[in-house]
Amino acid sequence: MKTVSANGATIPALGFGTFRMPGADVLRMVPHVLDLGYRHIDTAQIYGNETEVGDAIAASGVDRGDIFLTTKVWVENYRRPAFLRSVDDSLTKLRTDRVDLLLLHWPNEAVPLAEQIGALNEVHAAGKALHIGVSNFNTALMAEAIRLSDAPLVTNQVEYHPYIDQSAVLAAARAAGLSVTGYYAMADGKVLADPVLNEIAGNHGKTVAQVVLNWLVGQDGVIALSKTVGEERAKANMEIFDFALTEDETRAVHALARPDGRLVSPGGLAPAWD
C-alpha cells in the first residue's frame, strides 16, 4: 500500500470510509477490507457507527497497531469540556486507547477556533490522538488553525473528485506540509457515466472508479477515501496501484472541474469555499 507522509504522519494513501454506512454493513465490510489489505479506516462521531467500527476491527484479527484509524469530533462538541468527553466516548466505542488521527469535522463559528484547536492539542498531548487535523476547512481557516496549533496538523479532509477544483487547498496544504484527504471521490456516482473517464478507463482496462482513485492518489500528498458496501467493489478499489495515467489523461481529468461541481456544502457548516 502506498503511503503519504505529512508533518510526521505516515498515512495509507487509500482509506475505507464509513460515512452513511449502517452498523450491520460496517460489521460486514470492515473485516473484509482489512482482509483485503486496507489499513486505513475512517469514521466520525456523527456517523453513528464508531461502536461497530471498533467491534469490526477487534473481530478482524488484524493488529490494532497496524491500522490507521481516523475519527472526527462533531461541531456540537467543540467547547472544551464537551470536546474532551466526546473523545473519551469515541475511544470507548472504538475499543482503543488512541486514534491515529483526530479531526475537527466542520468549521463552527459559534466556538472560537482557538478553543477548538486548544482542545485538539490537549487530546494529542494526552496521547489519545497520535496526529491531528481538520476537515472541510478553506485555506484561510486552515492557515489560522496551523497558526494556533502547537502540534503539527497532518491533513485537511475535503470533498475531492474530478468535478471540483481543489488546487488552492492543495497548494496551501503542500506549502504547510499537510496532506489532503479526499472524500466523495465518485461524486455521488456522477463520474461513472462520464465519457472522458470511461475512455481513459478503457485505455487501461480498468473501471472508472479505479481511474478516479488512481488519479487522486497519484497526486502529491493526496489520500483517497473509498466507500462501498460491496465486497467485489472493495476488492476492485484496491487494484489501483498497478497502472499510471499519462500526463494527457491526468490533465483531461483535471479539466472536468467546473464551478458548480461541489456537492457537499451544508448550510450553517460550510465555510466560504476557495
Is 105 within any annotated ligand binding site? yes
Catalytic residue among 47, 78, 160, 163: 47
Contact between 50 and 255 (Cβ < 8 Å): no
Cβ(12)–Cβ(39) under 8 Å?
A: yes
Decide if 47 is catalytic: yes
Binding-site residues, please?
Answer: 105
Binding-site residues for substrate, please?
Answer: 105
Active site amino acids? 47
